[in-house]
Structure 1
Amino acid sequence: MILVRHTTPAGAEGRCYGRLDLPVSESRFEAEAAQTAAALPPGPKRIYASPSLRCRLLAERLGAPVTFDERLLELDFGAWEGLRWEAIPRDQLAAWCEDFVEARPPGGETFVELAARAEACAAEIEAAAGGAEPVLVTHSGVIRALLTRARGLPLAAAFDFEVAYGSVHRR
């Protein structure tokens, strides 16, 4: 399974975003999309993607049919969505940072919940792939959850490796 992170979003700097449907960076999208497409192995592909705009636009550039699946959406930050990080109450943010795996932003979801839905989605896609290597265009949180599980690491290790915009990872 190949995991692809969306390209650079516009308006993300200093902002808490997960489910917030940010547009792509107009100045970077074309170059990043071309670079990402070139990093994928040649041949036919079956692409699955988060329905968010930043994933949808990249997935549609990869030259194969796309199936959208909400289980590939980023972490739901609930009441924090769209807020600047400094606007989030310090005590709430500190509690979440101390245990981002189990802690839940107000009205949002835990990283454990994200990992469970991402794993269920990946398992279903792999079962239907019939030996073909599917491509998932998704978000950093989903990629980190799937990679930590595949590497036998605890979810708390999810930020031990980089998942850059437009990056390609093998699971």
Structure 2
Amino acid sequence: MTSRVSFVSPAMNSSARQARFDDGGSIDAGGRARARAAAGSLPAAVRVVVSPSVRCRETAAALGLDATQAQELAGLDVGRWRGLTLAEVGADEPEGVARWLTDPSSAPHGGESVADLCARVGRWLDAALETDGRTLAVVEPEVVRAVAAQVLGAPPAAFWRLDVPPLTVTSVSGRNGRWNLRLGHPPDSPDPEPAGS
């Protein structure tokens, strides 16, 4: 049995353009148009899930996907920093930001740590290994980062070294207890069959 999961990052919105922690804003007109143009280009899936954020749900809808919300694939909870830019937070809480960016177990914002996010996503991946066929998941960029770190067995500190552009697909395929990773391809690029997975 081979399980495949294609993780689609959300289309652009004003928060992403401003390097702002997600504030629940909608995707912008350009992002919506790009997602609509990609509708129908994703591979068929036995299940479709979505992070509960507005931008992920709207991206899934623009892609023409009928998705079920997956709370375990929610984005990183940044607590009181929600809606602020990193520059704003850095000006008010420089020590907290420095600690957050260097210690994956730290959550100075009162939300969730990067290590906790990676562990949560890792549990979801473990369960996904039991699903035969393909899953499409429209998820926040930080979930894609956590997936990549988990699949590669990288420490949570590697999370900050991964960039996830809007409306790209990162795919994993797995069997026999392990995953292979394919990073950041456009939605209309087919997944090759993995070698030796």
Q: Which band: TM-score by shorter chain?
A: 0.7 to 0.9
Gaps of 5+ in 1: none
Matched, 1:155 2:156: yes
Of the three residues 11, 14, 36, the one matched with 1:10 is: 14
Tell me how far 1:37 sits from its aligned partner.
5.1
Matched, 1:165 2:166: yes
1:64-120: CA deviations, max 9, x gaps?
431101111111111111123222221211121222x11113211101111122222
Check whether the contact 1:16–1:80 (CA below 8 A) recurs between aligned residues. Answer: no
Structure 1 or 2: more strand by fraction? 2
Q: 1:72 to 1:6 in 2, by over 3 A?
A: same
SS at match of 2:98: helix
Instruction: Compare relative contact order (CA 8 Å, sep 6+) and give the higher one, 1 or 2.
Output: 1
**Aligned-residue CA RMSD (Å):** 2.1
Check whether the contact 1:7–1:166 (CA below 8 A) recurs between aligned residues. Answer: yes
Residue in structure 2 matched with residue 53 of structure 1 by the alignment: 54
After TM superposition, the structure 1 = structure 2 runs for residues 89-100 of structure 1, keeping only pairs within 5 Å, are 89-99=93-103
Question: When the two structures are aligned, how many residues end up with a matched partner?
Answer: 165
TM-score normalised over the length of structure 2: 0.74
Residue in structure 2 matched with residue 116 of structure 1 by the alignment: 119
Q: 1:138 to 1:36 in 2, by over 3 A?
A: farther
CA distance in 1, matches of 2:163, 2:138: 16
TM-score normalised over the length of structure 1: 0.84
Gaps of 5+ in 2: 173-197
Asked which structure has the greater CA Rg, the reply is 2
Deviating above 6 A after TM superposition, structure 1's stretches of 4 or more consecutive aligned residues are none
CA distance in 1, matches of 2:34, 2:159: 28
